[in-house]
Structure 1
């Protein structure tokens, strides 16, 4: 899993790739041509890449969050291998925003507002997501932002933990999706929407 963003304004013609959440004060960089590997200083593991002059290497880049084509991933992996960096890219598993089905929903122990859900997403996969919305319930169809999604406000969805309970994704409200919000809480979809299909903003 990785997150990719293209910036042709403030960071002219630069593609940024993140594998995991990392603080800038514990990072170091290694450069090979236009490719820079961002590493964790303590573990020396690669947490991301910056590709300068990206449009000379890759095709069809648009400003903002980008889903890289298989062709662009292959070209990037060739650059990574040529640079002798050890972490290559794998294609994303389906769309970032999907229709999810809440199969199970229970209160989080020790919390007065959090619920832990077991939610089916695409390809029959089931993920555990902690949610603070008061209107969440078992049996709902909802919008799920999967791990690796960049939200409209720039927030990146990483695996996390709330009250000691792991969470992989976000059950979204209309406001979080940049859509008009008619009521408080998560956005509940029609029951006839197919689980796992892409939800387009």
Structure 2
């Protein structure tokens, strides 16, 4: 996993490779690179690159999530090596906002409004996702945000639990995807029936109505 986002005001490129743990993180800065590790395990959590235009050039940088290719990641790894860090990043072309198919829907045992969905996202097994949207139904094509998705709000989707039930993603409303003229009320974005399961959700590729 590699999630990268640029903050123009701070002039920092944030790179996230793992979910924060319950343990305190430690950080180490050398020059314009900071490496963040889990304090207990020492596992890499993320990195901050200050003044990233000096590394990547300004053309690829814009506020919010930045998708980097292998050549860009190689430049970041060179900066890491030059700073004396042993850690390296790996490019991640996998889409994390994808077309999902709601195969099965059950009532949540501990909630009147939540439901437990089994969602086909083109993987070997369906993903279990707890959903609270009032319009969710079996047989729908929807947008699934998988763990590692960076939402327009800046939120990163991670595995978790809702009322004691594990959930491995999120089904998305138009407003959560920051779509133009999205209604500001609960309700999933329902995709056309012919939307290909597992395909990356790119709004321009779909005829959207809501």
- The TM-score range, normalised by the shorter chain, is 0.7 to 0.9
- How far 1:7 sits from its partner (Å)? 1.7
Quickly say closer, same or farther: Cα 1:183–1:42, change in 2 above 3 A: closer
Quickly say closer, same or farther: Cα 1:61–1:44, change in 2 above 3 A: same
Number of aligned residues: 198
TM-score, length basis structure 2:
0.81
Name 1:42's counterpart in structure 2.
40
TM-score, length basis structure 1:
0.85
Equivalents in 2 of 1:97, 1:148: separation in Å? 9
**The one of 184, 193, 196 aligned to 1:194:** 196
Aligned partner of residue 6 in structure 1, secondary structure: strand
Equivalents in 2 of 1:20, 1:95: separation in Å? 16
Equivalents in 1 of 2:39, 2:143: separation in Å? 37
- How far 1:31 sits from its partner (Å)? 2.1
- How far 1:28 sits from its partner (Å)? 2.1
| Structure 1 outlier segments of 4+, above 4 Å | 122-125
Cα contact 2:129–2:169 (8 A) shared by 1: yes
Quickly say closer, same or farther: Cα 1:120–1:194, change in 2 above 3 A: same
Cα contact 1:20–1:158 (8 A) shared by 2: no
Cα contact 1:124–1:196 (8 A) shared by 2: no
Q: Provide structure 1 residue ranges, at least 5 long, that are not aligned to the other structure.
A: none
Name 2:66's counterpart in structure 1.
66
Matched, 1:84 2:82: no
Trace 1:136-155 onto structure 2 (pairs within 5 A): 136-155=136-155
- How far 1:134 sits from its partner (Å)? 2.3
Equivalents in 2 of 1:24, 1:167: separation in Å? 18
Cα contact 1:37–1:85 (8 A) shared by 2: no
- How far 1:178 sits from its partner (Å)? 1.9
Quickly say closer, same or farther: Cα 1:61–1:101, change in 2 above 3 A: same
Q: Provide structure 2 residue ranges, at least 5 long, that are not aligned to the other structure.
A: 204-210
- How far 1:66 sits from its partner (Å)? 0.9
Residue by residue, what CA displacement relative to the aligned partner does 1:48-99 show, whole Å, maximum 9, x if unpaired?
100112112124222211111111122323444553334x333325223211
Quickly say closer, same or farther: Cα 1:162–1:140, change in 2 above 3 A: same
Quickly say closer, same or farther: Cα 1:198–1:74, change in 2 above 3 A: same
Quickly say closer, same or farther: Cα 1:100–1:76, change in 2 above 3 A: same
